[in-house]
Structure 1
Amino acid sequence: MAFAAGMYVYPGGGVDPRDVDADVAWVGPSREEWAERLGVEPREAAALVCAAVRETFEESGVLLAGPSGGAVIDDTTGQDWEDDRQALEAKDLAFTDVLARRGLVLRTDLLGAWAGWTTPVFEPRRYRTWFFVASLPAGQRTRDVSTESAEVVWLPVADALAQADAQEIAMMPPTYLNALEVVQHTTVADVLADAAGRRVAMFTPELTDEGDGPVLSVPPEVRPLLEAHDG
């Protein structure tokens, strides 16, 4: 990747203009509710949520969608699914068209808004990034399918943090700090319950001088967790 090469990151990517489709079947919080959670207008919120689900499918084979609001796809490993995934990754197909053709609804109730970060002003490439948490649908399994990564691994959150602390893997600050927040919870349900009450505000790290040289600032609500973790 041109950005964050060599770093361990979560599945994700940019919004496809075709992710904005008012007709896409939708289950879970309304577009207006997502807009409030994400701090954007409803149209942009819908695009962000759709992009989060699409990118997760593209990069891991996990699909947060089902034939109805009470069901979810339990197997996305067949060749027909792989054909759709590859077409999405190549941008030859719109995700909303895949959902419509297969008669699926977007299960936004399986997602939670978690955090928002903007790249520091001194970086040559700058992005606004919304982070989500999600519950892995029963029966589905993650796969090493993305062509955008040199390696794909799935780890318990505590293990990922331990490997980062031991410098066995490299993470950017947002990746590490989001994991640090998630690991405070004991179950997926607890994480999603926390996410349901969050209202995302964009945080832009700044260089600060804390005596040992310049360091990047962190969100104030995360600092106590980081200090406790560092001992």
Structure 2
Amino acid sequence: MVLPQELADRAREINAGHLEPVTPRDAATVVILRPGPEVYLLRRKTTMAFAAGAYVFPGGSVDPRDADHSVAWAGPTPAQWGEAFTADERTARGLVCAAVRETFEESGVLLAGPGPDSVVEDTTGDDWEADRLALIDRSLAFADFLAKRGLVLRSDLLKPWAHWITPELELRRFDTRFFVAVLPAGQRTRDVGGEADQVAWQRPAEAIELAHEGKIFLMPPTYQTLSELAAHDSVESVLAAEREIVTILPRAVEVDGEMRLMT
């Protein structure tokens, strides 16, 4: 990918040590799967400052309150998640909570239940919508949301998938861990989320084809994740896949006088 002149100049300054890159923010992204397999994609509004118009998976930045130890927890521990993602325990706790919280905020899907072996069957209704909006505007902390409803976060419903860091040349940077999860029985996704203007369920290969045809725009992490998922013919195959989480940080490299972004 050849960089536009402005980004190319910034990349040269960073590579030369004349400019300090922006520190990336911890973030979590969740690929929601349903039989097909199909994935849930949102199109970010064209007014968004980051990835405007791109089709993405639900996700977002970690809220400092996501690391709250009062969150009721079932499944792999924060320490175990830290091992999977090469992160300290506090960071891992925040990432998993952010993954579940952001998924609910952006899709209405909630990976939590009344107990360690159960999951909420229905998240529709005015009371759920009020809580979702309160989580989005940060007037309600995720730990308080779960406690109020007597729910336990189900970290066992998540599978670690990938780790991407936004290139150093970008002004908005994220240190993002990717998870996959299956749409719980009885739950259904919302039509739109707060930052999206369209949503779609797509087979990974179909989404890639649409991108090749110029009908949708995919960021490199989304494109690669879809490419990996396209190799699987069932949800069960995805969940059974062995994953070695390798950090991917695309870098700007000068080739024949042009600055290119390379993974």
TM-score bin, normalised by smaller chain: 0.7 to 0.9
Aligned partners of 1:132, 1:199: CA distance in 2, in Å?
A: 13
Return the structure number with greater strand share.
Answer: 2
**1:200 paired residue number:** 245
TM-score w.r.t. length of structure 2: 0.77
Offset from partner CA, 1:7-53 (integer Å, 9 cap, x none): 11111111111111112111111111100001101111011000000
User: Aligned with 1:150: secondary structure?
Assistant: strand
5+ residue gaps, structure 1 = 219-231
Could you tell me which amino acid in structure 1 is paired with residue 77 of structure 2?
S
Q: CA deviation at 1:199?
A: 4.2
CA contact (8 A) 1:8 1:169 kept: yes
What letter matches 1:165 in structure 2? H
State the one-letter code of the partner of 1:204: L
Q: Measure, in 2, the Cα distance between the counterparts of 1:129 and 1:91.
A: 20
Q: Deviations over 1:159-194 (max 9, x none)?
A: 211211211100011110011111111222221222
Cα offset for 1:208? 4.3
Assess if the C-alpha contact under 8 Å between 1:39 and 1:201 holds in 2: no
- Amino acid in the other structure paired with 1:202: T
Question: How far apart are the structure 2 equivalents of 1:98 and 1:152?
Answer: 25
Distance 1:69 1:17 in 2: 25
1:88 counterpart letter in structure 2: L
Cα deviation, 1:48-85, whole Å, max 9, x if unaligned, reads 00000000000000000011111111110111111100
- Supply the AA of the counterpart residue of 2:132: R
2:166 counterpart of 1:152: no
* Among 18, 42, 62, the residue aligned to 1:15: 62
Q: Which residue of 1 aligns with 2:226?
A: 179
Q: Give the 3 Å change call, closer, same or farther, for CA 123–61 of structure 1 in structure 2.
A: same
Q: Which position in structure 2 is the counterpart of 1:87?
A: 134
Percent identity for Structure 1 against Structure 2:
54
Q: Residue 2 of structure 1 aligns with which residue?
A: 49
User: CA separation in 1, counterparts of 2:262 and 2:236?
Assistant: 30
Distance verdict in 2 for CA 1:40–1:33, change over 3 Å: same
Q: 2:167 aligns with which of 120, 125, 138?
A: 120
1:130 shift after superposition: 1.1
Calculate the TM-score normalised by the size of structure 1: 0.88
Change (3 A) 1:122 1:168: same
Output the CA distance in 2 between the equivalents of 1:49 and 1:22.
Answer: 12
In the alignment, what sits opposite 2:104? 57
Q: Which amino acid aligns with 1:20?
A: A
How many residue pairs match? The answer is: 216
Of the candidates 130, 140, 146, which is equivalent to residue 177 of structure 2? 130
1:78 corresponds in structure 2 to: 125
8 Å contact kept, 2:203–2:230: no
The CA deviation at 1:151 is 1.9
Q: What is the root-mean-square deviation in Å for CA atoms of aligned residues?
A: 1.8
